[in-house]
Structure 1
């Protein structure tokens, strides 16, 4: 696309290491071309790249694939070094692509869609990994409910704070809270406060294996 699009027409931006350049689910009105520096991408939590999925070195397009596929960015992008980039309006990028032969346009669009699918799958696996770790922890700390109680099964008493549990699992507290809500929605977790009941321990074991 560089042979049909003059990047000199667009303003240069720069940022030091540690700055978030793109955030997940961010609608794209422009697409970024990295001119110098290194970007890491993955899933960011609490200001840290908690789950690193890859690295991009200049020169390269950072988010041309989701822009061409008409999708938001699937990953967080953070400057690993001092970086410099140019932002190009998405419409300008798409217009430049339309000057290509039809077969070439179809190939590029198909590759962009495939990249987006792979990125979404990678992020989904990261989330699933957090669910599996939480399920394992709950089962490891579960105890049988007393037989004289009306409801049988397993229960967990949270002797630690959620922040401590999240640190033990290697995830952010926000991720732990999200996973616990997800387990409740699936009917695998019940109760509030420090006492949690596991009404379907077998289903939780299946999650723990994933």
Structure 2
């Protein structure tokens, strides 16, 4: 029978410094983590740091049970917010433990895991769209006529990207990524201090205005 006590499972104990990555979206897991002590931040990583925080969990607690039950890679990223002491249970040992559950209990666990995983996927999806929407809205609000191209609008970046990102409530790395994605979709052009707005209707649709 599955036990909530991590020390009833085979595995090893590890200590993680603040900022250490425990889970990464889309990366296959080798262990199931039980946080014995410490706080873990959940969200979306960008260039190794948590650009968007979606929640916080504090030990003692299991960290990535839903992923392990479903056999899926994590839907969100997780980093140590404080010093964390955790028990790493090999995934194979955890899966073997699942097989000892009564069929009805396993069915309930699967349903709960699916619901939790879908909520995490939806939250990440909305977060990504929200960053794009905020960026598109900011570009439209700061648009000016382009001097050398009549009829076209552009945005002069008079502030550092770090300051603009702070206004939008996102990390500078996230702003750079969103601008790159807008260029790839031919909504804007330019990589210096002047951004030309190529598709105003597309930006308006993205911004929801």
Please tell me the TM-score bracket, short chain as reference: 0.7 to 0.9
Alignment of 1:30-109 (within 5 A): 30-45=31-46, 48-109=49-110
Counterpart secondary structure, 2:195: strand
TM-score after normalising by structure 2: 0.84
Alignment of 1:3-42 (within 5 A): 7-42=8-43
Distance change (3 Å), C-alpha of 1:24 and 1:195: same
Contact 2:11-2:90 within 8 A present in 1 as well: no
| Structure 2 alignment gaps of length 5 or more | none
Distance change (3 Å), C-alpha of 1:5 and 1:160: closer
Counterpart secondary structure, 1:177: helix
Specify the alignment match of 1:138 in structure 2.
139
Specify the alignment match of 1:156 in structure 2.
155
TM-score after normalising by structure 1: 0.84
Specify the alignment match of 1:181 in structure 2.
180
1:49-86: CA deviations, max 9, x gaps?
33221121222110111122222222222223332211
| Structure 1 alignment gaps of length 5 or more | none
- Measure the CA separation in 1 of the matches of 2:9 and 2:96: 17
Counterpart secondary structure, 1:9: coil
Q: 1:18 Cα shift?
A: 3.7
- Measure the CA separation in 2 of the matches of 1:96 and 1:188: 51
Alignment of 1:188-207 (within 5 A): 188-207=187-206
